[in-house]
Structure 1
Amino acid sequence: MSATQRFCARESLSLGDPLAGSAAHAERNLLLSWPRAKWRRSLRQASDMANEVSKRLDAIAEAGRRVNLIHRRDQPSERHCLYLMPENRRYELTREELPVFLAALQRNESLVHWQVTSPTGPLLLCCTHGKKDKCCAKFGYAAYKALDSAVAKHALPFDVWESTHLGGCRLAASAVVFPALRKYGRISDEDVLPLLESEIAGRPYLPCYRGDSRLSPIQQCAQVAALEWLAARGIQADVSLMQSSGVEASSHARMDVAWRSESASGRLAVSCEPRMLRRYDSCADLADVPPAASQVWVAMQVEAMEIARPLS
């Protein structure tokens, strides 16, 4: 089979490449609407972007705030919608105002002149960055259309946008939910409505859940394993990671996880081990390089350390 007929997402799935532990994402974000037809391979550059805007976006990214371009059909091409996360603020401005806005952001000056009503529900980005990876064009765009359609059909309180590269092209279709910073992968049509319903309830949708982006890969692995263990026993609970023992970087780690539901609480111990996979991280690698060795974390055992007790 030629490289043009292969997709890194399909190869990742067949390899058993886990979703859990792959949710790395910056907490501080600037999201800028820009017509998808003008996106370049870079996640924050467009072909018709003024040089000053391009340089300011690079500087903002270098200062520690991730910059992504976003798109949806109803957004006028010469008028821009911007989001700041985790501040959960939204702005509207013309293209002519954009350099002034970005300069004010860099200087930590007031942006209230451009501020509009903040999002009242979750913001959901789905990667459709075909110039970066063909899996995001094929699988990502189909997932975006399905998510957007479901939100409209069921009148759900989401803002859904297409996005440039979100990381993990091999896990397409990929999405991230703000401000919760939960990441998802391998979203199929069957996952769309359950995922949205779970997020509305404030819970991660486990079949596609990659983890909480604020956690390390091994912590994400333990978090997902604990949630799956609880779900298998009919328990919907919040979990928090307490401590770890073992050597995270090499052989083994054990994470203590506390959980709390509406009626009970308890504590779990999750044992995780590293695995080495030889995988392609993107479709661009399929024709040019051999698969790269990559370490992933796998939960090997979940053990109840404390009997759940009713909450008063």
Structure 2
Amino acid sequence: MTLRCSESAAERGDPMVGTAPPQREWLLVEHHGPWPVRAPFDTELSVDLLRRLRHPEQRVVLVRPHVRERAGAIRRRWFRCRDGELRTGHWERPEDLLETLRPEAGTPHVGPLLLVCTHGVHDTCCAVSGRPVVAALSQRWPAETFECSHLGGDRFAPNLLLLPDLACYAQMSPEGAVSLVEAHLDGRVETGSLRGVAGLHPAEQVALTAALERWGPAPLSAARARLVHQAGTLDDGRWTVDVAGSDPLPTQAQVVVASSRRAEARLTCRATRATRALQWDVVSWSTATLD
């Protein structure tokens, strides 16, 4: 029997750190129907509108409550995550979403948002693994939890994005997801399930995660990573990252991360051919900055 991509990745031991999405800004658009394969495309949101809403730093994702709204509901919500702040508003017509381009659009949203990918028509693993997790989180945080369209990292499903912290977690059980979120909100990042922080360079994600693992438990805010030097290419490179920390982390550390390619593998359930995924590994710490 053919294994699903997440089962194959777990069997291979694919490392997931450094694989969080590259966007640091997120626009979440409430959608009450089934997920289109190419969401957010192929919806009532036109290609022209999406071109205006999306940019290299901002990703547009469809969201829906785990407990579905009535089919006739017209006013739907949007949420925007930018610069560590969440704002929210409502939309009826697609063009209403252009309001989100204004910095002061909507009203501040207090509290986190928990997004779980359940985009099964994009990848079976997202639905099979994501739905039990979103059900468990909805029991604990009903107002904060949403299903969402594609987050990437299908082979690491289930995938969970916490906003506004931009923390991306994966490969957790439903019960583990609840304890993981409780720990995160309490300032204790569980690095074993952390893919990284969205918007950071992969090497920065790896260095930050390694620092939290070495000196934690600590909140994400205790570490700030900055890429300062690159040598080589993605296929065979060395990336030097400065990590500025606050208690319990040291004030300053320097981490060297290596990038390489793994053996060919089928990385998603829908993949028609094998590809070679990137792998990121910590190879050294600056001894001058170790505690």
**TM-score, normalised relative to structure 2:** 0.85
- Corresponding position: 1:58 with 2:50: yes
State the alpha-carbon separation in 1 of the partners of residues 214 and 103 from structure 2.
Answer: 47
Matched-pair identity in %: 25
State the alpha-carbon separation in 2 of the partners of residues 62 and 306 from structure 1.
Answer: 40
Contact between 2:21 and 2:151, CA under 8 Å: does it hold in 1?
no
Question: Deviation at 1:307?
Answer: 5.7
Q: Find the partner of 2:80 among 77, 81, 84.
A: 84
Paired AA for residue 61 in structure 2: N
- Corresponding position: 1:22 with 2:23: no
Question: Deviation at 1:228?
Answer: 0.8
Once superposed, what is the RMSD of the aligned Cα atoms?
A: 2.7
Pair 1:207–1:30, CA change in 2 (3 A): same
Pair 1:224–1:109, CA change in 2 (3 A): closer
Alignment partner, residue 279 of structure 1: 265
Q: Find the partner of 1:295 among 273, 278, 289.
A: 278
**Structure of higher CA gyration radius:** 1
State the alpha-carbon separation in 1 of the partners of residues 177 and 108 from structure 2.
Answer: 25
Alignment partner, residue 9 of structure 1: 6
Question: Deviation at 1:74?
Answer: 4.8
State the alpha-carbon separation in 2 of the partners of residues 109 and 254 from structure 1.
Answer: 34
Structure 2: unaligned runs, 5 residues or longer = none
Pair 1:70–1:224, CA change in 2 (3 A): same
Structure-to-structure mapping, 1:1-312, within 5 angstroms: 1-2=1-2, 6-35=3-32, 37-45=33-41, 49-50=43-44, 53-64=45-56, 65-72=58-65, 73-77=67-71, 78=73, 79-86=75-82, 87-93=85-91, 97-105=92-100, 108=102, 111=105, 115=106, 118-151=108-141, 159-231=144-216, 238-241=222-225, 244-245=228-229, 247=231, 249=233, 250-261=236-247, 265-277=250-262, 278-285=264-271, 288-289=272-273, 291-302=274-285, 304-306=287-289, 308=291
Contact between 1:127 and 1:162, CA under 8 Å: does it hold in 2?
yes
State the alpha-carbon separation in 2 of the partners of residues 61 and 15 from structure 1.
Answer: 38
Contact between 2:204 and 2:227, CA under 8 Å: does it hold in 1?
no
Contact between 1:57 and 1:67, CA under 8 Å: does it hold in 2?
no
